[in-house]
């Protein structure tokens, strides 16, 4: 059982201990200062929902009900949990980066995710009294590698550098959606946290997207094999938007905590508050398809192309959770499905194929400038 924490400095001690526990060498980021960063946020007044037009909540006691405070606490510690989870998932990849440039990108992504977790814990500890301190501590006690992160996506294995790049391209893209939706929050400290986090997130997406482009350009990793990574991580990304019908998402919207991804440009209020998750997931899916289109343009004529798996495939959350659909969206029998999963998700046989490719060292085209 970890020690009680009374203030943010106590929490920092736990954070540095956590870095060591997960095997992240603090020397890798010795010139970087972890800090909570706030900007001015999006607007001084609440932008949508029941309290629209009122001054944003600066303190949780400005909110009229305990129910609201509890839900907000929940929303923030779920976000924080994903940030620490991702660093745990990526912790073993430092030595497998294909170049020094890629290693630096990985280290930057990891330290920024750690800062995002730090930021969420700063919001928790500064605003939520004892329950905030308890939740901030628990962020560092759950671990991806013992399957105790709150969302399944953040307990999955990130086994190699292709996993990392597919993850930053598509799971960090979910992150961009979540942060954008929280950017307009009626809780001012949360809204003011999101601008700096989103700026950092943009680099993660860049790392993933250019990384996948560089793999395709180099032409060494077979496209059908790369497709398996897309099948794994896009289906995981679909899940991250939550249930198709969600009364929690509706409440978050009504209370102004979490807006729509396109809240800033939307001209109409939402048609159906219970379907906000589904709408966000659809926007995410469309954006994924555009990214994949861009990758396909790099594949020479007559070669297999990449595609986004059907939104029904491999789902653990929502209407299609635990249903058996193929990557093309075809219903399958139990036996067919079991076989299908072995064929379309990365497995031990694929790792064997990749081993010599990784060893040869030229499986990604050159970094940043011409990515």
Residue 204 binding Fe ion, by CB under 5 A: yes
Residue 149 binding Fe ion, by CB under 5 A: no
Q: Can you give 150-172 as a three-state secondary structure string? A: CCHHHHCCCCCHHHHHHHHHHHH
Choose between 63 and 194: whose C-beta lies nearer to Fe ion. Answer: 194
> Could you give the string, one character per residue 49-88, with x where binding to Fe ion holds by CB under 5 A and - elsewhere?
----------------------------------x-----
Which three-class secondary structure state does DSSP give residue 45? strand
In whole angstroms, give the CA distance from residue 179 to residue 185: 10
**CB of 258 closer than 8 Å to CB of 185:** yes
Choose between 177 and 313: whose C-beta lies nearer to Fe ion. Answer: 177
**CB of 283 closer than 8 Å to CB of 177:** yes
Choose between 196 and 270: whose C-beta lies nearer to Fe ion. Answer: 196
Residue 172 binding Fe ion, by CB under 5 A: yes
In whole angstroms, give the CA distance from residue 288 to residue 297: 15
Residue 350 binding Fe ion, by CB under 5 A: no
Choose between 149 and 312: whose C-beta lies nearer to Fe ion. Answer: 149
Q: Is the dihedral of CA 274, 275, 276, 278 positive or negative?
A: positive
Rounded alpha-carbon distances, angstroms, from residue 218 to 67, 211, 214, 350: 53, 11, 6, 18
Interacting residues with Fe ion between 107 and 126 (CB under 5 A): 113, 116
Choose between 280 and 344: whose C-beta lies nearer to Fe ion. Answer: 280
Which three-class secondary structure state does DSSP give residue 36? coil
Residue 281 binding Fe ion, by CB under 5 A: no
> Minimum distance between the CB of residue 175 and Fe ion, rounded to whole angstroms?
5
Residue 312 binding Fe ion, by CB under 5 A: no
Q: What is the DSSP letter of 341?
A: H
Question: Can you tell me which of 175, 208, 237, 259 binds Fe ion, judged by CB under 5 A?
Answer: 175
Which three-class secondary structure state does DSSP give residue 331? strand
Choose between 149 and 204: whose C-beta lies nearer to Fe ion. Answer: 204
Choose between 120 and 276: whose C-beta lies nearer to Fe ion. Answer: 120
For residue 315, count other CB atoms closer than 10 A to its CB.
Answer: 20
> Minimum distance between the CB of residue 197 and Fe ion, rounded to whole angstroms?
6
Residue 174 binding Fe ion, by CB under 5 A: no
> Minimum distance between the CB of residue 201 and Fe ion, rounded to whole angstroms?
5
Rounded alpha-carbon distances, angstroms, from residue 188 to 23, 40, 42, 53, 60: 35, 9, 9, 14, 10
Which residues bind to Fe ion, rule: CB under 5 A? 83, 113, 116, 172, 175, 201, 204
């Amino acid at each position: 059982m970890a020690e009680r924490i009374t203030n943010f400095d106590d929490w920092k001690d736990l954070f540095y201990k956590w870095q060591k526990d997960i095997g992240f060498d603090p020397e890798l980021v010795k010139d970087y200062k972890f800090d909570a960063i706030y900007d001015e946020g999006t607007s001084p007044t609440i932008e949508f929902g029941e309290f629209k037009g009122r001054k944003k909540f600066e303190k949780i006691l400005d909110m009229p009900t305990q129910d609201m405070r509890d839900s907000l606490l929940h929303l923030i510690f779920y976000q924080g949990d994903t940030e620490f989870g991702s660093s745990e998932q990526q912790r073993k990849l430092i030595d497998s980066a294909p170049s020094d440039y890629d290693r630096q990108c990985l280290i930057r992504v990891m330290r920024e995710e750690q800062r995002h977790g730090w930021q969420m814990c700063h919001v928790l500890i500064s605003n939520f009294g004892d329950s905030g301190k308890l939740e901030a501590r628990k962020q560092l006690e759950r671990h991806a590698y013992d399957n105790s992160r709150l969302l399944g996506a953040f307990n999955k294995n990130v086994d190699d550098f292709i996993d990392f790049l597919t993850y930053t391209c598509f799971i960090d893209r979910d992150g961009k959606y979540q942060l954008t939706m929280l950017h307009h929050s009626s809780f001012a400290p949360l809204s003011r946290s999101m601008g700096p986090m989103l700026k950092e997130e943009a680099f993660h997406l860049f790392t993933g997207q250019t990384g996948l482009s560089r793999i395709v350009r180099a032409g060494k990793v077979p496209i059908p094999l790369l497709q398996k990574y897309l099948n794994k991580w896009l289906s995981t990304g679909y899940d991250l938007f939550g249930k198709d019908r969600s009364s929690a998402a509706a409440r978050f919207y009504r209370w102004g905590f979490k807006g729509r991804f396109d809240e800033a440009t939307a001209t109409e209020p939402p048609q159906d508050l219970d379907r906000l998750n589904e709408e966000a997931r659809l926007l995410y899916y469309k954006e994924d398809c555009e990214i994949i289109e861009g990758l396909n343009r790099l594949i020479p004529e007559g070669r297999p192309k990449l595609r986004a798996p059907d939104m029904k495939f491999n789902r653990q959350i929502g209407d299609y959770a635990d249903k058996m659909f193929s990557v093309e969206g075809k219903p399958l029998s139990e036996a067919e499905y079991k076989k299908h999963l072995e064929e379309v998700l990365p497995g031990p046989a694929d790792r064997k194929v990749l081993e010599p490719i990784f060893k040869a060292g030229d499986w990604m085209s050159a970094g940043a400038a011409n990515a």
